[in-house]
Amino acid sequence: MKKEDLPQDPSALVGVTREVCYVKDKDGKYTSDLSIGWDVKKQALDNAWEDINERITEAAAKVKSGEISPVFYFMEKKLMDLPLLSGYTGFWQWTIKRHFKPSVFKSLSQSRLQTYAKAFDISVDELKNFNG
Partner 1 sequence: MDKLILPYNHIQTAHCENGVATGLLKHHGLEFMTEPLMFGLGSGIFYIHIPFLMVNGGPAVSYRSMPGWIFSRASKLLGIKVNRRKFNSEKEAYDYLNKQIQLGNPVGCQVGVYNLPYFPAEYRFHFNAHNLVVYGKENGSYLVSDPVMETVTTLTEEDMLKVRFAKGPLAPKGHVYYPENIKPVSKEQLQKAIYKAIHRSAFDMLSIPGPIAGVDGINYTARQIRKWRDKLGPRKAGLYLGQIVRMQEEIGTGGGGFRFLYAAFLEQASEITGNQKLLTLSDEFTKAGDLWRASAINMGRIFKGRLNEQKDFLECADMLDNIAAIERAAFKELRKIKP
Please state, in angstroms and rounded to a whole number, the distance separating the CA atoms of residues 3 and 57.
Answer: 42
Q: How far is the CB of 73 from partner 1 (least distance, A)?
A: 16
Q: Candidates 9-17, 56-64, 92-100, 106-114 — which segment interacts with partner 1 by CB under 8 A?
A: 9-17
Kindly state whether residue 10 participates in binding partner 1, applying the rule CB under 8 A.
no
Q: Which residues does residue 8 pair with via DSSP β-bridges, in sequence order? A: 37
User: Is 3 or 102 the residue whose CB approaches partner 1 more closely?
Assistant: 3
Residues contacting residue 80 through CB under 8 Å, at least 6 positions apart? 88
Q: Candidates 66-74, 79-87, 95-103, 107-115 — which segment interacts with partner 1 by CB under 8 A?
A: 79-87
Interacting residues with partner 1 between 12 and 41 (CB under 8 A)? 12-13, 16-24, 29-30, 32, 34, 38-41
Contacting residue, 3, 88, 124, 128, with partner 1 by CB under 8 A: 88
Contacting residue, 48, 57, 58, 118, with partner 1 by CB under 8 A: 48
Asked whether the beta carbons of 96 and 72 are under 8 A apart, the reply is no
Q: How far is the CB of 30 from partner 1 (least distance, A)?
A: 4
Rounded to an integer, what is the distance from CA 108 to the centroid of its chain? 25
Binding site for partner 1 (CB under 8 A): 1, 6, 12-13, 16-24, 29-30, 32, 34, 38-41, 43-45, 47-49, 51, 79-81, 83-84, 87-88
